[in-house]
Each structure stands twice: as C-alpha cells, then as structure tokens.
Amino acid sequence: NAGVTQTPKFQVLKTGQSMTLQCAQDMNHEYMSWYRQDPGMGLRLIHYSVGAGITDQGEVPNGYNVSRSTTEDFPLRLLSAAPSQTSVYFCASSYNRGTDTQYFGPGTRLTVL
Amino acid sequence: DAKTTQPPSMDCAEGRAANLPCNHSTISGNEYVYWYRQIHSQGPQYIIHGLKNNETNEMASLIITEDRKSSTLILPHATLRDTAVYYCIVRVAYIQGAQKLVFGQGTRLTINP
C-alpha cells in the first residue's frame, strides 16, 4: 500500500490564483481530512469527510472547498489564494470517522506571494 | 475542546528512557488521549493512544493518571531517530459522529548521543 499520498510537494502561487491540492489513499478508509500547520499553532482542521459524497467544515474552512466523489480521493481547492494561506497542508485518513488511528500524508508546502 | 499543555522542549541521552509529560485537566470522560510525533517536516506519525488504562505497544508506553488529568509518554530506550516534535492530543467528538484531533504546540524532544 502507498498509504496517503499528496501532490504537489511544493507550490508557489500568486495572490488571487486558484489551485487544487490532491490527496489520495489506497486503504479503503471512510474518513479523510485536511489540516494546515502554521509555525507555533500546531495542526488545525480545515475540512473533513466521513464518506464519499459527505463533507463538512472543520475549524478553519474559510477560503477552501472540498469534495469527495470517491472513497480514495479528497482534493482541497483554494478558490482565490491569499498570503494568509501560506502553510503546510496535511491530508489524513482513517477507517471509521476518525475513531481509529489517523494516517497522515507527507504534506504540501504552499507559499502564496 | 479539551486542551493539552506540554513542555516546549526536552533533552534525553541516547539509550535512556524519555518521559514526556502532558496535562489535559479539562478532558471529558469519553475523550481519548493520543500521542503523535512529527519528524522534521514529515506528516505526523501515530504512536499510541488510551482512555484511562495504561497502554504499551512496540513503540512506547502511555501512563494515564487515575483522574485522567495528565499522562506521560515513555520511550523506553531512546535513539537518535526519536528526535522529533511529540504531540499530546485529545480526540474529541465532532459533528456527524466524526472525530477530530486537537493538536497543541507539542514538545520538541532532542536525543543526544
């Protein structure tokens, strides 16, 4: 199993540009989520999904959209990038609505100029 | 959400036991304590979790006080590869029955040769 994969690893955007961060898992996990990590602030939950077709907001959802058309994929869309979205983004998955161990991807380092 | 308090940094000699403390005095009765670690800028890696009993696995031991207000992660024979940021996390129930991990600031553990 590849586990949780994320692409790209690094990305630089200009303010106002849009892009999609990709996340995929091959463990048939129901639950997938997106976190962002900023210096001195730990990880904060952006959006999560408890299964295909079901998504909801986390702690810091503004400026981000998600969808879950398949069990395997959970892309995160930045609609109009802002410098405040400069961060490292991690995707995670687990079997059962997050009650089991969550497995994290390697992260995407995003810089918005 | 229950919050955790950890020392910002600790040092430990290679081969010795590393004991990482965590306070979670506002934890609720059904909230689990999880420990993850993050090596360099990789995705967080699961270590261990518990509710009220002490737990042990191949990586570490988790000691939870009887009142559940604090816990200690023990790495029995620390190696240089254990140098990382260690997060003590309370898993809280979220909407739609999902769970989320509430990350704090973590403890930066340095293993010295």
Which single residue is written with the structure tokens 């190696």? B79
B/e letters for B44-63, b = 16+ CB within 10 Å, e = fewer, are bebbbbbeeeebeeeebbbb
Partners of B74 in the β-ladder: B19, B61
Q: What is the rounded CA–CA span in Å between residue A102 and residue B7?
A: 24
- Low-confidence residues of chain B, pLDDT below 50? none
Q: How far is CA B10 from CA A91, A110, B62, B106, in A?
A: 28, 30, 17, 11
Nearest-Cα residue of chain B relative to residue A106: B43
pLDDT given at position A88:
96
Q: Give contacts of B101 with chain A, Cβ < 8 Å.
A: 43, 45, 98, 102
- Low-confidence residues of chain A, pLDDT below 70? 97-100
Q: Which two tokens mark A19?
A: 């892009």
pLDDT given at position B103:
81
Q: What is the mean pLDDT of chain B?
A: 90
Question: Cβ contacts of residue B18 below 8 Å, gap of 6+?
Answer: B10, B12, B74, B75, B78, B82, B109, B111
Query: Is B46's Cβ below 8 Å from some Cβ in A?
Result: yes
pLDDT given at position B95:
60
Q: What is the mean pLDDT of chain A?
A: 92
Query: Is A53's Cβ below 8 Å from some Cβ in B?
Result: no
Chain B nearest-CA distance from A95, in A, is: 11
